Amino acid sequence: MTPYFPGHGDHRYGVTHYDLRLAYRVPANRLDGTARLTVSAAQTLSVLDLDFGKLRVSGVTVDGSFARYVHGQGKLRVTLPRALPAGEQAVVEVRYSGKPVAVASPWGGLGWEELSDGALVAGQPIGAPSWFPCNDRPGDKASYRISVTTASPYQVIANGVLVARRRGAGSTTWIYDQAEPTASYLASVQIGRYQISEYGGARLAHPARLATRVRYDFARQDQMMALFGDLFGPYPFAGYTVVVADDDLEIPVEAQGMSIFGRNHVNGGRGSERLVAHELAHQWFGNSLTVACWSDIWLQEGFAAYAEWLWSEASGGPSAGDHAQRWRQRLAQLPQDFVLADPGASKLFDDRVYKRGAMTLHALRGAMGDEAFFAALRAWTAEHRHGTVTTREFAGHVQRHTPRQVGPLLSAWLHDKALPGPT
C-alpha cells in the first residue's frame, strides 16, 4: 500500500528515545532547541534522513563527532561519520532555533502553534517536524524526555510525569519524562498562563477565570475513566492531563497522556461532553495502541467515536444502537464511494472514518454479543499495549474471541464501498 505521507517517516531506522531540551520565548515566538535522538539502524546506514521542518539548524553531532548535514524541503539529511551497521545505535544531536513554522497539510498548518499568550502543539498526523527532528511515522514509537525553559508566569505541560521544575532568574525549567513508547505526532508541549489542579482523577490546566465552567464540564470524567476501564481495560498511562487553552480551537487534540481543548469547548453546560469522552478514549485507541499506517486510522477514530456512544448509553443518553441507527440514515444518503480500511490521505478525518468506524464496532458487538465483544476489546488493548496495530490484526483477533464467523461482516464494513445493510 502506498504510504499516505510519503515525505514523512523512514523505515531504514527507528528512534528509541528523544531527549528534547527547549527554550521558548512567548512574546517573540522563538524556539531554541537541542534534540538528542537515540537511533537504531534497521539496515546499514551511511546517511540518516530525519523529518524536520523550517527551524534553522546550527549544528549536528553523531556520538559526539561533528557531522555534515543538508536541510531543506522537510528533511534533514545527516551524513554519518561512520556507517552504522544494522542493529546498532547512535546518538544524533541536532541544535536548532527560530520561529516555528507549521507543517502544511490538507487540514491547514499542523504542529507547534503560537497562541494569543502561549503555545500549543497539535501534531496529528504530520505536525511533529515543526518543532523537533524526528522519524515521523506513527509506528515508530519512542520514550521522551522533554525539558522546556520559559518565563516564570507561564506553566508548561508536556507528555509524561513532571520530574523537575527549576526556577531561575525570571524563567523556569520544566522537565517531563514519558517512559511509555510514544508516536512522534503524540509528543506535545503546552504553554500558557494556566491554573493547574487535580480534579476527578485527572489534572486540569486552564485559565483561572474558566475554573467553574471547566470543573462542571469535566466533572463526569472520572465516571468515564471508570466506564472505559471496565470496557476497554486499565487506563494505559501514569496520568491524564486536560488542557483548556485560552483560544478557540476548531477541534480538541489528543496527545500522549493528555488532551487539549479550546475555551470554546467549555460552556459550563457540558456542551462538548461527547468530545471529553472521545479524547479520553484515544488514550487506549491511538495512544497506547497506535496504527502502524495512517490508512488504518479507523482503529483510532472509529473506536473513539464508539466510546462516545458507549458513554452516552451508560450516562442515560441515547443508546449506542440509537446512535448507529441515526448515522446509518445519514451515511446512506452520501455517495457510496468510501472504503473504511483505506480512506485515502485526504479523507483521513472524514466523518465516515468516525461514524462508519463506530457502526462497524456496533455491528460486531451485535454479532458477538456483549460479553465476547468487550472481552475481545480488553484482550486487544492488553496484548498490544503501548504497541502498534493493523486492521488485519484486529480482524484476526476478534475471530479468536467468537465461534461465529465474523470475517464476512467485517470485510463488508471495512473493505466494501457500499454501506452494509442492517443485520
Residues that bind Zn ion (CB under 5 A): 301, 304
Element (H, E) at 46: strand 45-51
Cell of 57: 539548524
Least distance between Zn ion and beta carbon 351 (Å): 12
Which of residues 253 and 419 has its CB atom nearest to Zn ion in the complex?
253
- Decide whether 174 or 338 has the Cβ nearer to Zn ion: 338
Q: Cα-Cα-Cα-Cα dihedral of 354, 358, 363, 364, to 10°?
A: 110
Residue placing its CB nearer to Zn ion in the complex, 304 or 414? 304
The least distance separating Zn ion from the CB of residue 27, rounded to whole angstroms, comes to 33
- In angstroms, what is the minimal distance from the CB of 272 to Zn ion? 13
Alpha carbon of residue 84 to chain centroid: 30
Task: Sheet containing 189-192: give its strands across.
Answer: 111-115, 118-122, 189-192, 155-158
- Give min distance, CB of 250 to Zn ion, in A: 13
- Give the shortest CB-413-to-Zn ion separation in angstroms: 19
Count how many Cα atoms sit within 13 Å of the Cα of residue 118 in the half-sphere of its side chain.
Answer: 22
Q: For cell 472521545, what's the residue?
A: 278
Q: What distances in angstroms separate CA 222 from CA 36, 253, 318, 319, 423, one per listed residue?
A: 37, 19, 20, 20, 34
By three-state DSSP, how is residue 245 classified? coil
- The answer to whether the beta carbons of residues 113 and 125 sit under 8 Å apart is no
Q: At 360, which helix (H) or strand (E)? A: helix 351-368
Q: How far is CA 60 from CA 48, 54, 87, 91, 93, in A?
A: 12, 16, 22, 10, 6
Question: What is the distance of C-alpha 362 from the center of its chain?
Answer: 24
Contact criterion met (CB below 8 Å) for 251 and 232: no
Nearest distance in Å: CB 277, Zn ion: 11
Residue closer to Zn ion by CB (options 80, 358) is 358
Whether residue 33 contacts residue 46, with contact meaning beta carbons closer than 8 Å, is answered with no
Nearer to Zn ion, 51 or 254 (CB): 254
Q: What is the four-CA torsion angle of 124, 178, 382, 239, rounded to 10 degrees? A: -90
Nearer to Zn ion by Cβ, of 158 and 304: the residue is 304
Whole-number Cα distances in Å, 140 to 117, 120, 291, 294, 301:
33, 23, 10, 12, 19
Which residue lies nearest Zn ion, judged by its C-beta? 304
**Closer Cβ to Zn ion, 301 or 393, answer by number:** 301
Residue 318, C-alpha cell as written in the block:
441515547
In whole angstroms, the minimum distance from the beta carbon of 292 to Zn ion comes to 18
Say which residues have a Cβ less than 8 Å from residue 187's Cβ, sequence separation at least 6: 18, 20, 121, 123, 128, 132, 134, 144, 146, 159, 178, 255, 256
Residue closer to Zn ion (CB basis): 22 or 348: 348
Tell me if the bond preceding 125 is cis, omega within 30° of 0: yes
Q: Give the rounded distance of the alpha carbon of 389 from its chain centre.
A: 14
Between 21 and 356, whose beta carbon lies closer to Zn ion? 356
Q: How far is the CB of 284 from Zn ion (least distance, A)?
A: 12
**At its nearest, how many Å lie between Zn ion and the CB of residue 371?**
27
Distance in Å, CB of 378 to Zn ion, minimum? 21
The CB-of-301 to Zn ion minimum distance in angstroms stands at 5
Q: Which is closer to Zn ion, CB of 150 or CB of 184?
A: 184
Q: Among residues 150 and 381, whose Cβ is nearest to Zn ion? A: 381
Distance CA 423, CA 15 (A): 45
